Chains A and B, each alone.
Chain A
Amino acid sequence: MEMFDMTAAELGKRIQAGEITAVEAAEYSLSRIKEKDGQINAFITVEEEKVMENARRVQQKIERRELTGPLAGVPVAVKDNICTEGLRTTCASRILGNFVPPYSAEAVKRLEEAGAVILGKTNMDEFAMGSTTETSAYGITRNPWNTDHVPGGSSGGSCAAVAAGEAFCALGSDTGGSIRQPSSFCGVTGLKPTYGTVSRYGLIAYGSSLDQIGPVAKDVTDCACILEAVSSYDRKDGTSVKRESYDFTSGLGRDIKGMRIGLPSDYLGEGLDDEVRKAVMDGAEAMRSLGAIVEEFPLGMAEYAIPAYYVIASAEASSNLARFDGVKYGYRTEEYEGLHDMYKKTRSEGFGPEVKRRIMLGSFVLSSGYYDAYYLKALRVKALIMKAFDEAFKKYDIILGPAAPSAAPEIGCSLADPLKMYLGDIYTVSVNLAGLPGISVPGGMNSKGLPIGLQLIGDRFQEEKLLRAAYQLEKAVGGYGIKKEEAHDEQRI
């Protein structure tokens, strides 16, 4: 098997067996980045020497049997809104263009403790605000399946890096679908864990009550391995939750006979691309044939999820992004007169248009006189959405639906109509509002040869069950295997 074909877990096994070294794996990934990234632009920062130095150190530990886990020696990419000590972290924004964090995010620390070798920092929509990775200050990322198309977003760099074989797996973050939607567009597997499962310490906040770090990988098994490595109860994060179990891998192969799968009719109606709908129905059929009980049901509240999400996320963002002011770190305008002029110019020059739009939207909904009408109302909608899911999970173990209304759009046709772009988040945002775990699994290709993702949603803290269902679905519909032949077709990239 060539390294290109290996999942992270397969590579890890061979590294443990001494067939491949961590150094060779890192060299492979770096050469792959050199070869592909000029076109894909999945990475903002790669420091080759640092990567090789880390790979050598990890290899020594592996040889001393100090690192024996599945990720030891595996090259991993990290989204550029997750702090890495000594490695520039920009949030794809000009305002953090020179920011080198003095500390690492808890999730990064845990990855490194598991022996993963961090390759570099991946491109994204600026401050994770966007669905296409076109709002980055460091250029757009292209979809490895068809470079005229976007990879999705905001974790577009992480998903494209895995899809292009540059990284074996990656960390992304998901506030309203930012892992699941680009995973769907890039034909990879991406998981957004239950809120509170992975520490947010060191994740540069967009919408604090919605943000979660999660894995992007070639298959469900890899996602489970990465989640097991990065999840923890962290006292540095007040919203971290102590789970009963942090074992996400041992139950993976179990069957799904008798599992009750709900298919929300609200997710199959108007606005959904026919080919995506067909992929979802095929996925449902596949699960049925494995012994699951699949039925359609009305979930409710779906149409209110988008406005509630954009009100809450923007409100939190308007306050979270206030700290980028040119005083302490990051970009400061060249010439200014006095404090307010410095603030104004720094932020005007440092932030891109989509970020400004959301800061203004968020500031507006929190203003006195509008707070009740918008922000409080959105919180009430959030509570109702949670209730709708609670009701659904009384009847079903897992909810199945699309990850996005369509496959990846062409570059340049989304930003012109932001409202339309926001509506593309319709199947993912509710999961964040309700704090649930959700995973996107490859579910086939459309007629243009672009991947389609299927989304599975679990109840809070039911990742074990969710991953088990996803694993069976992946086996039934093909998973990452679909991509292999296509990826070798160098013409496409």
Chain B
Amino acid sequence: MSREYETVIGLEVHVELATETKIFCGCSAKFGGESNTHTCPVCTGMPGSLPVLNRQVVEYALAVGLAAGCEINRFCRFDRKNYFYPDNPQNYQISQLYLPICHDGGIEIETEAGKKTVRIHEIHMEEDAGKLIHDEWEDCSLVDYNRSGVPLLEIVSEPDMRNAQEVIAYLEKLRMIIQYLGASDCKLQEGSMRADVNLSVREAGSRTMGTRTEMKNLNSFKAIARAIEGEKKRQIELLEEGKAVIQETRRWDDNKEYSFAMRSKEDAKDYRYFPDPDLPPVVISDEWIRAVKERQPELRTEKLARYIREYGIPEYDAQIITSSSKMASIFEKTSEICKKPKKVSNWLMVETLRLLKEKGMEPEDISFSPENLAKLIDLADDGTINNKAAKEVFEEIFSNDTDPLYYIEERGLKAVGDEGILLAAIDKVLSENSDSAEAYRGGKEKVFGFLVGQVMREMKGQASPAAVNKILKDKLS
């Protein structure tokens, strides 16, 4: 490569909001369901039906906008985006073009290169479309309107990112903020968070922007990182060959690791946007903004500081636990019950993270209850079960949220507290290892651990370490 290039990236992120009902009707917004069961005349575009705005959508948009430092348009409106496609029952999408609810914000990100702010151009509310199912057997297409009218936020950044690391950092930060606010679960695989990447390259030091492409169909952070690398390479190669980058929308194929042109600017549709006459403007008062701010949950930075201060856990632990609102919530609730925050933190940091990784899950997928984890911690602490058994019990809690007391009873995992059996085992170990016992008595304290290990082995792990320690010490003194 003869010249040096700089990559310029901006993102359009779509987030499905976690409302009970759809944006313009009372149908359930839940994922799944039999085809066309979460539908009514409004979200199937029946003649004469009318949209009515769901207030919760505005609340979530305000919450996300305020958390991202945006200005709020006190008078915002919905516009119709007109285009024909069967997944869109009215043949127009209700969105916001002229007066989006939030604009001009920014999010601070941190990468190896340091901190920087990615500016937010705007955030607007809109409705999702239905889903087309192509039946190749019958050679026809079917449409499911369950998703039609599910509320979306579109968060448009300025072209402030320069590489994949920054993009991932921005997306992770955005996802964390939105999850903390409870506005969305932001699952990329399920499509409740989707990112389109606008990318251009220019010679390093240049002030003018290169021609950009928009990339769609990015279903994971890894795919996004690969797509950025791939597209950057493709554009630089074009420029090196003296060719021009064409402004177009491209579809990323993560299997082939290549993007394919979908449509160019020349085929860009005229969406004939105009204010939707069925929806009166949304007027946002100071009181409304204040109320949303007051209800705003504690965000990560404050939570992190508080965990270190109040719970006395190491910063490293606090960082990891607060990186997911789900983990943070489990940490706080469990600590509340068992009053042992450091132990809770350990269970989350070690076993929980291990199991998440093993099962390819996200922290947001955690389904066990703080009550059961707290019980387990208490049981391990008072010697009812030993560490080995505790780990087994935790796996069960992690997978099925089983009550640990019930599970221990059922599996006979209780550490043996019966002194008779334990005494016999200790006597046996001491007589078989009399030289080690002598060495200990002679001041070689290191062998104590070995003896404990031997006793535990004799007990097949089913002894309370506390009891073993105590009796063994008595015997050796």
Q: How far is the CA of A91 from the CA of B47 in the complex (A)?
A: 10
A304 CB–B CB distance under 8 Å: no
Docked complex: A128-160 residues within 8 A CB-CB of B: none
A319 touches B46 (CB 8 A): no
Q: Is the CB of A96 within 8 A of B47?
A: yes
B47 touching A83 by the CB < 8 A rule? Answer: yes
Asked whether B277 lies within 8 Å of A209 as measured between CB atoms, the reply is: yes
| Alpha-carbon gap, A238 to B52, bound state (A) | 5
Asked if A204 lies at the interface with its beta carbon under 8 angstroms from chain B, I say yes
- Verify A99–B50 contact, CB threshold 8 A: no
Q: How far is the CA of A327 from the CA of B46 in the complex (A)?
A: 11
Asked if A325 is at the interface (CB within 8 A of a chain B CB), the reply is yes
Residue of B nearest to A89 (CB): B47
Closest residue of A by beta carbon distance from B45:
A323
Could you tell me how many residues of chain A have their Cβ less than 8 Å away from some Cβ of chain B?
43
User: CB of B34 within 8 A of chain A?
Assistant: no
- Please indicate the chain B residues that have their CB under 8 angstroms from the CB of A371 in the complex: 272-274
A204 near B90: Cβ-Cβ < 8 Å: no
Q: How far is the CA of A101 from the CA of B52 in the complex (A)?
A: 20
Of A35-43, A64-72, A116-124, A362-370, the one contacting chain B is A362-370
Task: Answer whether residue B182 sits at the interface, using C-beta atoms and an 8 A cutoff.
Answer: no
Assembly CA distance A444 to B90 (angstroms): 45
Q: Which of A205, A235, A319 contacts B48 (CB 8 A)?
A: A205
Any chain A CB within 8 A of the CB of B84? Answer: yes
Q: C-beta contact mask, B191-225 vs A, less than 8 Å → 1, else 0?
A: 00000000000000000000000000000000000
Q: Is the CB of B278 within 8 A of A208?
A: yes
**Considering the chains assembled together, what is the distance between the CA atoms of A371 and B271 in angstroms?**
11
Interface positions of B from 257 to 309, Cβ below 8 Å from A: 270, 272-274, 277-280
**Is the C-beta of A375 less than 8 angstroms from some C-beta in chain B?**
yes
Assess whether B274 is in contact with A238, with CB atoms less than 8 Å apart.
no
- Interface assignment of A380: CB less than 8 Å from any CB of chain B: no
Q: A209-B277, A238-B280, A366-B272 in contact; A102/B41 too (CB < 8 A)?
A: yes
Q: Looking across the interface, which residue of chain A has its beta carbon closest to that of B86?
A: A327
Interface residues in B56-110 by Cβ distance below 8 A to A read 80, 82, 84, 86, 89-92
Q: Name, among A204, A324, A327, the residue most crowded by chain B CB atoms within 10 Å (CB to CB).
A: A327
| CA gap between A237 and B143 in the complex, in Å | 27
Structural contact, B44 and A235, CB atoms closer than 8 A:
no
Q: How far is the CA of A305 from the CA of B45 in the complex (A)?
A: 31
A371 to B275, CA, bound (A): 11
- B interface bracket (residues with beta carbon within 8 Å of A): 20 to 34
- Tell yes or no: B53 within 8 A of A by CB: yes
B121 CB to nearest chain A CB (Å): 20
Please pick, from B44, B80, B84, B92, the residue contacting A328 in the complex, using a CB distance under 8 A.
Answer: B44
A238 touches B279 (CB 8 A): yes
In the complex formed, the residue of A with least CB distance to B145 is A328
Could you tell me if B50 and A237 are in contact, using CB atoms closer than 8 angstroms?
A: yes
B399 close to chain A: CB less than 8 A: no
Whether B274 contacts A236 by the Cβ 8 Å rule is: no
Q: Is A414 an interface residue, CB under 8 A from the partner?
A: no
Residues of B within 8 A of A89 (CB): 47
Q: CA separation between A324 and B92, bound complex, in Å?
A: 12
Let me know if A343 is at the binding interface, CB within 8 A.
Answer: yes
With A203-B48, A235-B52, A323-B45 as given contacts, are A375 and B274 in contact (CB-CB < 8 Å)?
yes
A101 touches which of B47, B279, B280 (Cβ 8 Å): B47
CB-defined contacts of B41 to chain A, threshold 8 Å = 102-103
Contact B280 A239 (CB under 8 A): yes
Given contacts A101-B46, A327-B143, contact A322 B82 (CB under 8 A): yes
**Known A-B contacts A235-B52, A339-B86; A99 and B274 likewise in contact (beta carbons under 8 Å):** no
Inter-subunit contact A236/B277 (CB<8 Å):
no
Report the nearest A residue to B92, measured CB to CB: A319
B45 touches A328 (CB 8 A): yes
A148 CA / B84 CA spacing, docked (Å): 42
Would you mind naming 27 contact pairs between A and B with Cβ atoms under 8 Å apart? Answer: A83-B47, A102-B41, A102-B46, A103-B46, A200-B50, A201-B49, A202-B49, A203-B48, A205-B278, A207-B277, A208-B277, A235-B52, A236-B50, A238-B53, A316-B277, A318-B272, A322-B91, A322-B92, A325-B86, A327-B143, A328-B46, A328-B89, A343-B84, A366-B82, A367-B272, A368-B270, A368-B272
Contact surface of A with B, Cβ cutoff 8 Å: 82-83, 89, 91, 96, 99, 101-103, 105, 200-205, 207-209, 235-239, 315-316, 318-319, 322-325, 327-329, 339, 343, 363, 366-368, 371, 375
